[in-house]
Amino acid sequence: MSDQADQMAPDASPGAVSKKSGVRRVNNMPMYILAAALGAFLLVMMLVAADRAAKQNAPAQGAAEKA
């Protein structure tokens, strides 16, 4: 208990930073993986939408009506 009391004393200087204190850095690799997966999904959705739009706007190739 006295160890924490010494650290909390106003005279204690935070000059020496221990390994346990400080800011932890974020590992960015999962962010990059998620961004790549989202980008691939959006690319596939865009290709499917373009294909459907092309099929919808294409002239009908069925049998011509005979009068």
Q: How far is Cα 59 from Cα 61, in angstroms, rounded to an integer?
A: 6
HSE at residue 37, side-chain half, CA atoms within 13 A, is 6
pLDDT digits (tens, 9 = 90+) for 5-54: 677 777 766 666 666 666 778 889 999 999 999 999 999 999 999 999 99
What tokens were used for 4?
Answer: 């924490």
The owner of tokens 């190739």 is 61
Domains of the chain, by residue range, sit at 27-55
* Residue whose pair of structure tokens reads 């691939």 in the numeric block: 40
Helix H segments across 1-67? Answer: 2-7, 29-57
Output 64 or 37, whichever has higher pLDDT: 37
